[in-house]
Amino acid sequence: MNEKLIQLAKRRGIFWPSFEIYGGVSGFIDFGPLGIKILKNIENLWRKMFILKHDFIYEISTPIVMPEIVFEASGHIKHFTDIVLTCSSCKNKYRVDQIIEVENIESWSLDEIEKYIKENNIRCIECKGEFEKPSYFNLLMKTNIGPFSTDIGYLRPEAAQGIFINFKRMYEIARKKLPFGVVQLGKVQRNEIAPRKSLYRMREFTIIDLEFFYDPQNPNCNLINEIYSKKIRILDIESRNKNLGIKEISIETALKNKIVLSEWLAYFMYLSQEFIQKLGIPYEKQYFIEKLPSERAHYSSQTFDHMVVINGNPIEVAGFALRTDYDLRNHSIKSGVELVAERIKEGKVIEKFYPYVAEPSFGLERLMLCSLSLAYSERDGRIILKLPSEIAPYHAAVLPLVRKDGIPEMAYKIYLNLKEKGIDCVYDDTEYIGKAYAKYDEIGVPYCITVDYQTLNDETVTIRNRDDWNQIRIKVTDLVNILNKLLRNEIKFEEAGIPVKK
């Protein structure tokens, strides 16, 4: 974790610890004005690439609090709860199933486990100390719904369940055609034992879950040809076991050699790689790691984590899981409502079945953390946040060189016009020009437009490039057009106007 980045975030209003006036609670982070702008930009870039591009992917929004029964069906009550044993002398904690090898030990009561430990004189595997009384640990955040304490609710630990329980309705909305996908983007909570590292492990964060439903008898992805020859960097189980390191393979190879078991999963993995590249994270700093069966979630038959390497440390930013029909099947059993799709032949329903699910799932704040970390750079003791234009908090800042002779008025007029034309910019006459440049470099604004004495004579302004501090001069009337091209990387900066000599 880059300490200087954390300082910058606090100083400039990107993010800071929550509940500060009451001493803080670890695992919770507040986002300031700039942080929100960056987060929203990342969200919208994601929507553009995953939803807008595909007319068979839909976004919905469902409640954060859910009744207990949802998580009984999903398996979270059982699998998200661990019985924990604590050694009274060395204070190590263990999951009970690591200590007592008895079938179905998780379903025993605490008293039964305590009795068993005493009778069999089971002691700490580290220091041989005695265990304290066993206790539950559940990563679900618990609450009540309504006035009765028996109506238990949980805050969702993933947005996926809100999608699964809506399958029937969404299947209708998708005109009963597979495959289709449903997205939910929103806050989730997990009662982490030890939240750490600022934005990395939080108790509340924003998840982007895409549940993609397909027919297991017809699992092919119609878009796979577009990306067949594209490459991904991958560390599969075999490579992990044999210590072979990350390999670079084509999507075609990944599928033909059954390294990735689903075409749709592979498709979304590649899309994710492209998405994360657009966040400013180069291809070489990304890879997918396949989870071992013991590392996988209870619902998954294959999982890849999408990793980004920041300062040598791999950070998990997304997960790709084959959830099979686990969730739809279990919700069907629990609710008595059939969450199924139909196979139709000659106008008649000949078969009902549970669709399979390929799930890409992203942690929004982690994505921001990666972007900020890689964008962070210093020059001459000054900070430059080299964020991609698409996620920068503003596209441009309009600055008057001096605060007299009608220059601020001229600059303000230009600013208003840019805003009207959809350029997200900011006007600032509070600073000495050099200081203003430094300020906007620091929050990642890619271009500064300066109105100077020459503007009064020939209606031209300068544009300053954040990353190399070079300037060009262009006509005010060309500003919107040129800025748009620059923001979309359609022209080189030096060729966009007349270079200004330093």
**Applying CB under 7 A, which residues contact RNA?**
1, 7, 10-11, 17, 23-27, 75-76, 79-80, 82, 86, 90-95, 98, 139, 157-158, 190, 192-198, 201, 295-298, 381-383, 401-404, 430-435, 437-439, 442, 450, 452, 462, 464, 469, 471
Q: Is 208 exposed, middle or buried (0-12, 13-18, 19+ CB in 10 A)?
A: buried
Q: What is the smallest separation between the CB atom of 134 and RNA, expressed in angstroms?
A: 14
**CA distances (Å), origin 332, targets 73, 167, 327:** 9, 10, 8
Q: Is 244 exposed, middle or buried (0-12, 13-18, 19+ CB in 10 A)?
A: exposed
> Quick one: tokens of 1?
């974790």
**CA distances (Å), origin 62, targets 14, 155, 295:** 27, 12, 29
Q: Which is nearer to RNA, 261 or 438 (CB)?
A: 438
Q: What is the smallest separation between the CB atom of 67 and RNA, expressed in angstroms?
A: 18
Q: What is the smallest separation between the CB atom of 205 and RNA, expressed in angstroms?
A: 10
Q: What is the smallest separation between the CB atom of 342 and RNA, expressed in angstroms?
A: 29
Name the maximum alpha-carbon separation found in the chain: 94
Q: Where are the alpha helices (DSSP H) in 407-475?
A: 407-420, 433-442, 453-458
Q: How would you label 311-338 residue by residue, b for 16+ Cβ within 10 Å and e otherwise?
A: eeeebebbbbbbbbbbbbebbbeeeeee
Q: What is the smallest separation between the CB atom of 230 and RNA, expressed in angstroms?
A: 28
Q: Which is nearer to RNA, 68 or 192 (CB)?
A: 192
Q: Which is nearer to RNA, 348 or 404 (CB)?
A: 404
Q: What is the smallest separation between the CB atom of 372 and RNA, expressed in angstroms?
A: 14
Q: What is the smallest separation between the CB atom of 190 and RNA, expressed in angstroms?
A: 6
Q: What is the smallest separation between the CB atom of 384 and RNA, expressed in angstroms?
A: 9
Q: What is the smallest separation between the CB atom of 113 and RNA, expressed in angstroms?
A: 17
Cα angle vertex 214, ends 211, 220, to 5°?
120
**Measured distance CA(400)–CA(315) in Å, rounded:** 42
Q: Which residue has the tokens 């996926």?
A: 160
Q: Which is nearer to RNA, 190 or 395 (CB)?
A: 190
Q: Which is nearer to RNA, 91 or 230 (CB)?
A: 91
Q: Which is nearer to RNA, 173 or 402 (CB)?
A: 402
> Quick one: tokens of 148?
């009765």
Q: What is the smallest separation between the CB atom of 461 and RNA, expressed in angstroms?
A: 8
For 393, list phi and psi in degrees, rounded to 5: -65, -30
Q: Kindly give, in sequence order, each residue whose CB lies less than 8 Å from that of residue 22, ignoring residues fewer than 6 positions away.
A: none
Q: Which is nearer to RNA, 64 or 341 (CB)?
A: 64
Q: What is the smallest separation between the CB atom of 332 and RNA, expressed in angstroms?
A: 20
| 3-state SS, residue 336 | coil
| 3-state SS, residue 201 | strand
**Alpha-carbon torsion (492, 495, 499, 502), positive or negative:** positive
**Measured distance CA(446)–CA(375) in Å, rounded:** 12
Q: Which is nearer to RNA, 40 or 91 (CB)?
A: 91
CA atoms within 13 A on the CB side of 32: 13
Q: Which is nearer to RNA, 188 or 251 (CB)?
A: 188
Q: Which is nearer to RNA, 14 or 113 (CB)?
A: 14
**Measured distance CA(90)–CA(83) in Å, rounded:** 18
**AA identity, residue 118:** K
Neighbours of 466 (CB within 10 A): 24
Q: What is the smallest separation between the CB atom of 148 and RNA, expressed in angstroms?
A: 28
Q: Which is nearer to RNA, 442 or 478 (CB)?
A: 442
**Measured distance CA(205)–CA(199) in Å, rounded:** 9
Q: Which is nearer to RNA, 196 or 230 (CB)?
A: 196
Contact 30, 148 (CB under 8 A): no
Q: Which residue has the tokens 């590249």?
A: 277
